[in-house]
Amino acid sequence: MRFNRPMTEIGIAEECVQNPPVADESQMEDAELVKLAREGDLGAFDEIVRRHQDNITGLLFRFCPHRSDLEDLVQETMIKAFKNLSKWKETAPFTSWLKKIAVNTGYDYFRKKSRQPASLADSSGEANEIALEQLEDRAEARRRSPYTEEVQRLLATLPADDRTVLTLQYLHDMPLQEIADQMDWGLSKTKIKSFRAKRKLKEKLKTYGISRF
């Protein structure tokens, strides 16, 4: 009987029978992983997240040094990326595309923050809990990364556009051309925005002062 013969006899190693060979996702290129993820392979997307989350965290950390918000921003970036995988064109590096999503997520975060200034007027239990968590986060960020925390505290008084430009320019050391690409602005517009943002920042610093470290 053909089927009663052991597999080893017909030339198949035992370990191959127990663990059939699967494509090693960690060895795949981004493009291959994206292709699989587009077809609904969550394992492939998990590998994309594992591969890029440190870079994205590093980028968004400049926007928000508070850990729990930072985790939310990284997560949001990845989910946006998954939902828009079909829009990525292989002509551009996947990393740049993902970075652009992250910058936009950071920009949206600044916009949200400027629309909802911290308020103690809302005294519901949930709001108090959130406020307490934010305070703890802020204290932890001040201890771990005091300079980033201080820079963002100073920039927080500016509108979201200005805050984003200055964050990318000062904290990422990003050239204006790259900022223009990331924000989908023209270079001239980016230069004007940067100039105006610096002027506003000067005024704020003159009014409120700056901590001497």
Partner 1 sequence: MESHDFDELKSFEELAARARNEKAPDVDVRLYVKAALTGDALTGFEATAAKSRREEAPADIDVRLLVRAALLTAPSGENSSDWMDVLLRAFRLPVMRLAMTACFVALFIASTAANKPPTTATAAAADSAAGLEDPVMAFLVTGE
Measured CA to CA, the distance from residue 135 to residue 124 in angstroms comes to: 16
What's the angle, vertex CA 20, arms to CA 15 and CA 24, rounded to 5?
A: 110
Which one among 34, 151, 165, 179 touches partner 1, defined by CB under 8 A?
A: 151
Nearer to partner 1, 7 or 192 (CB): 192
Number of Cβ within 10 Å of residue 160's Cβ equals 17
Which one among 71, 122, 129, 133 touches partner 1, defined by CB under 8 A?
A: 71
Positions 170 through 199 that interact with partner 1 (CB under 8 A)? 170-173, 198
From the CB of 140, what's the least distance to partner 1, in Å? 9
Query: Is residue 85 involved in binding partner 1 (CB under 8 A)?
Result: no
Q: What is the 3-state secondary structure (H, E, C) of 80-113?
A: HHHHCHHHCCCCCCHHHHHHHHHHHHHHHHHHHH
Count of alpha carbons within 13 Å of 106, Cβ hemisphere only?
30
Query: Is residue 103 involved in binding partner 1 (CB under 8 A)?
Result: no
Query: Is residue 16 involved in binding partner 1 (CB under 8 A)?
Result: no
Q: Give every CB contact of residue 212 below 8 A, 6+ residues apart in sequence.
A: none
Nearer to partner 1, 186 or 199 (CB): 199
Closest CA to 172 of 66, 63, 70: 63
Query: Is residue 201 involved in binding partner 1 (CB under 8 A)?
Result: yes
Binding site for partner 1 (CB under 8 A): 42, 45-46, 49-50, 53-54, 57-58, 60-62, 65, 67, 70-71, 74-75, 78-79, 82, 144-145, 147-148, 150-151, 154, 170-173, 198, 201-202, 205-206, 210-213
